[in-house]
Chain A
Amino acid sequence: MEIVMAFVIGIMVAGSVYLLLSRNLLRVLFGVILLSNAVNLVILTVGGLTLGLPPLIGPEAKVLEAPYSNPLPQALILTAIVIGFGLLSFALVLVYRGYQELGTLDSDRMRVAEPCDPAEMPAPVGEPAKTREAA
């Protein structure tokens, strides 16, 4: 199963990278979702896949008896999912606010920080360039 997942994850990463390279920020966002899903699968896969057998200690036992699913990747993924959601929400709201302020979802046209017109040449020789006033 791990080998199958290696290819599935490869496809998901490819898909997410393609989306991340879009101009439309919403698609970029979808790329982020897909990427974090793919990464979670990576963590699970490299820890080994075991069908069934959740890492729960039986009522009579004191230690977890093999075989069991690897609990460590699960703990990592669990927080990663929640954090991924936090990141996604924040990014989504950022995109939304960006659209409100700039009227576009096209990342090429969002140019407040780096305007199209190249700023005037740096100050001439010898003199340290004056810090440009914040735009």
Chain B
Amino acid sequence: MLTAVLAIFVLAALAPTVHRMTPSFSHWLLALVPAAITVWFATFLGPVGAGEVVTQSIPWIPTLGVELAFRLDGLSLLFALLITGIGTFIVIYSGGYLHGHEHQGRFYLFIIAFMGAMLGLVLADDIITLFVFWELTSITSFLLIGFNHEDASSRRSAVQALLVTAFGGLALLAGLVLLGIAAGSFTLSGIEASGIDIRAHALYLPILVLILLGAFTKSAQVPFHFWLPNAMDAPTPVSAYLHSATMVKAGVYLLARMNPTLGATEVWTITLAAFGTVTALWGGLMALRSTDLKKVLAYTTLMALGTLVMLVGLGTEYAMKAYAVFLLAHSLYKGALFMGAGSVDHGTGTRDVRELSGLWQKMKITGVFIALAALSMAGLPPFFGFIGKEFMYEGMLQAGTLGLLVVAGMVIANATMLGAAGLVFWKPFTGQPSEAAEHAHEGGPSLWLGPAVLASLGLALGLGAIPHEGLGEGLLGAVATSLKGEAAKVDLYLWHGLTPALGISVVTIALGLGMFLGLGGVKRGLDGLARASRVNVDAAWDHVLAGLNAVAVAVTRATQTGKLRDYMVWTFTGITLMLGGTLLLRDGILLPREMPETSYLGIFMAALMVVGTIGTILAFSRLAAIVSLSVVGLSIAMFFLVYGAPDVGITQLMVETLTVIIIVLVLAKLPAFRKGEDGTGGERARNGAIAVAMGAVTTAILLAVIAVPYELDLTRYFAEQSYVGGYGRNVVNVILVDFRAFDTLGEVTVVAVAGLGVLALLKARMGRTRTGSQAGGDQP
């Protein structure tokens, strides 16, 4: 499985080169790899359908316990097949659709990388791996949506999609980590096997909310739905892929994955059912209002996503089966419809349904497959979409009162699908050819192959023409099993007697037909509704972003004053508070129990240091300050000598000398101290307070350190080994050049860099003229 994912990423990296070498049929070549992987995954149909779960695990970040763990069960296999299978056709389709586009190679790179990310996501068993792939899909989809980056609206949509899904991604990460902590395992299988009931855990609610935020943003549930229709700015193959098999399905996948762990509680059921139904209704109604073919389809995707979320939420046995069936049905027809819509756009130059009619004469092939897919979307027998709808109603009816409420909403939502199906097929293809249809032309095989296969599959599955043990019942049963966490079986059938579900279906179809026939009226009604409600999340988005920008600007203005000493004030205040706070909160204030011995010589030096320090602060002239500093430095040197550190003492002495030399060299060219340049009285008082606080904290820390016994292991080692191992009697020097020679090498490198830095600052003036050595200089 790792090989499969890696192969796709490698393919992505190679794609631009392949395209450059064989521009005219690169898409066929590139599609071979996902096709092969699809076939490879298909070989698992038998075992997985029989209930087997294939796993693979490779240590990734062993120190953190993060593994590249993969797992293939029914749910993963269905998704993997959809991703690679539809992906194959998408790659082929892009070749025809983007033919001659200057960045076609780059496009292949993005979309194949996206495929790899999505595949990794659905195969991941380790939840950190899952999250990494989750974020990868956000990033790659950002690149894809913003593919036409010269277009401002594309850029806006891409950023919007990225921000919304990345926001959700952050929430998801927090949720997954909490989940891992609560369950004591960071693999999905481990969490399921742990036997810990997360639902009863104290962290259940936070985990639930965070994971739902992640899933809802990704799967565009109301109120995070706005990015999805905007993402239509992407090239059509991207839309087809994003909507049918990938990206938005990631959230739905995650919910299904989490169902055995988090599901079947009241919160879960009601939240998911409510959000799902509202999203489905909203999507369905908005679809009818739209005139752009792609927008219509985008809103129907919202409807499908809402439906899937709702089904996971209901959690009844039939709902689980319906999830499996509807997921597959939707992927098939949505992929076909988007590609078909793209072909119409490609052939006529417009996607506006108001300008399209009578295309049938010119685009028969596309028309046939759009019709097949649209019928499946409409949920009419004998198509697979119909079976999906039957299961859906059955599942809702099982869910009691809540289910009845949901049914009411879903009847309308499903009816709108019929209307939308009419919009995408009936309206453009029948009737008198419009102006746009006059010069329409059919695309090449790369443009209709995808829709053909996908739409036909929808019909074939509906008729039961495909052996059910394999692709049909076996796989879908395994999917339902993954969802429920216990064995489940799916029997696909078209006719199942006179059941309530069938009755609801009939009502739905009637209502849908009515909607389509009275489309004008429905639209007017919806427009009125939209005006009345004035809910425009998309516009609100702009306000939120503008607000964020304003806050950022205000914060920057307040904190980034551009004044060095303001930053210093913040820094020192922060350090003082953190150190002092830690001392206070952790009982860090310790006093040495016994008074260590003192010496008069030492106290004399210490007194000189204090005098020198005070002198430096109070010095009214630069020379006085330097002399005071020297007093400090020299008394420290003497202190070192007295306290058994002759090497350090001599070093300090030499450095003191050099310091005075270089300061004096520069001093002549700098202006003298002036009165009042140290700030107002208030500022000086503030600085003084910070300084005293910092000094006090330092003293407190030192006292605490002195109070605990010294740790002398290392010192003892040096004392014993210095001569025996290092052949040196001066232990300090042996430490410097032998025991810690590597450190010393680093330290002399710093000296070297400082020397060269000074040289560079003074010698290399980047071609500027020297601005005189007189005090004053030029103004910048």
Contacts and interface: CB of A to CB of B under 8 A. Distances in A.
Contacts of A2: 592, 596, 702, 706
Interface in B535-570: 541-543, 545-546, 549, 552-553, 557, 560-565, 568-569
Interface in A51-99: 51-59, 61-64, 66, 68-72, 74-75, 77-79, 81-90, 92-97, 99
A114 B651 CA distance: 40
A126 B771 contact: no
Given A22-B678, A49-B643, A72 B714 contact: yes
Contact of A14 (B692, B703, B732): B692
A12 to B, nearest CB: 5
Among B541, B560, B679, chain A packs the most CB atoms within 10 A around the CB of B679
A129 B757 CA distance: 35
Given A81-B655, A92-B662, A97-B761, A102 B629 contact: no
B645 A23 contact: no
Interface majority SS (helix, strand, loop, mixed), chain B: helix
Given A15-B691, A118-B557, A51 B636 contact: no
B710 A47 contact: yes
B642 interface: yes
A1 B602 contact: yes
A74 B560 CA distance: 40
A36 B662 CA distance: 17
Contacts of A94: 761
A116 to B, nearest CB: 7
Interface stretch (B334-342, B482-490, B611-619): B611-619
B545 A125 contact: yes
Given A14-B694, A18-B617, A64-B731, A81 B644 contact: no
B722 A64 contact: yes
Contact of B731 (A44, A51, A57, A100): A57
B603 A74 contact: no
B659 A93 contact: no
B719 A64 contact: yes
A66 B706 CA distance: 20
B569 A21 contact: yes
A93 B629 contact: no
Interface stretch (B7-15, B316-324, B748-756): B748-756
Given A97-B761, A128-B159, A75 B740 contact: yes
B609 interface: yes
Contact of A44 (B643, B691, B703, B718): B643
A53 B644 contact: yes
B150 interface: no
Contacts of A11: 609-610, 613-614, 695
Interface in B565-607: 565, 568-569, 572, 592, 595-599, 602-603, 606
Contact of A63 (B159, B597, B622, B719): B719
Nearest to B692: A14
A62 B757 CA distance: 43
A118 B692 CA distance: 34
The A interface, classified by DSSP as helix, strand, loop or mixed, is helix
A111 B563 CA distance: 8
A131 B670 CA distance: 37
B636 A40 contact: yes
B719 A96 contact: no
Interface string B761-780: 11000000011110011111
B658 interface: yes
B549 A55 contact: no
B329 to A, nearest CB: 35
B532 interface: no
Contacts of A19: 616-617
Contacts of A55: 644, 719, 730-732
Interface residues of A, number: 107
B778 A103 contact: yes
Q: Which of A40, A51, A55, A94 has the most CB of B within 10 A?
A: A55
A14 B691 contact: yes
Interface in B625-645: 625, 629, 632-633, 636, 639-640, 642-645
Interface string A22-44: 11101110100110011011101
B194 interface: no
From B159, B563, B743, name the one whose CB has the most chain A CB atoms within 10 angstroms: B563
Contacts of A46: 702, 705-706
B511 interface: no
Given A11-B613, A82-B747, A68 B703 contact: no
Contact of B632 (A12, A47, A48, A116): A12
Nearest to B773: A100
A56 B644 CA distance: 10
B572 A6 contact: no
Contacts of A103: 776-780
A92 B645 contact: no
Nearest to A45: B702
Nearest to B721: A63
Among B719, B724, B772, chain A packs the most CB atoms within 10 A around the CB of: B719
Nearest to A43: B648
A54 B565 CA distance: 42
Contacts of A83: 747, 750-751, 754
A41 B616 CA distance: 18
B563 A108 contact: yes
A17 B572 contact: yes
A71 to B, nearest CB: 4
Contacts of A45: 702, 706
Nearest to B603: A4
B673 interface: yes
Contacts of B546: 124-125
Contact of B706 (A6, A10, A17, A93): A6
B46 interface: no
Nearest to A41: B636
A135 B732 CA distance: 49
B524 interface: no
A114 B564 CA distance: 11
Given A18-B617, A21-B569, A99-B777, 6 more contacts: A9-B698, A17-B691, A19-B617, A49-B602, A75-B732, A83-B751
The 5 closest A-B pairs by CB, nearest first: A14-B695, A69-B644, A86-B754, A10-B699, A114-B562
Interface of A: 1-24, 26-28, 30, 33-34, 37-38, 40-42, 44-59, 61-64, 66, 68-72, 74-75, 77-79, 81-90, 92-97, 99-103, 105-108, 110-116, 118, 121-122, 124-129
12 contacts: A4-B603, A10-B702, A12-B695, A14-B695, A26-B670, A40-B636, A46-B702, A51-B642, A57-B730, A77-B640, A103-B777, A114-B560
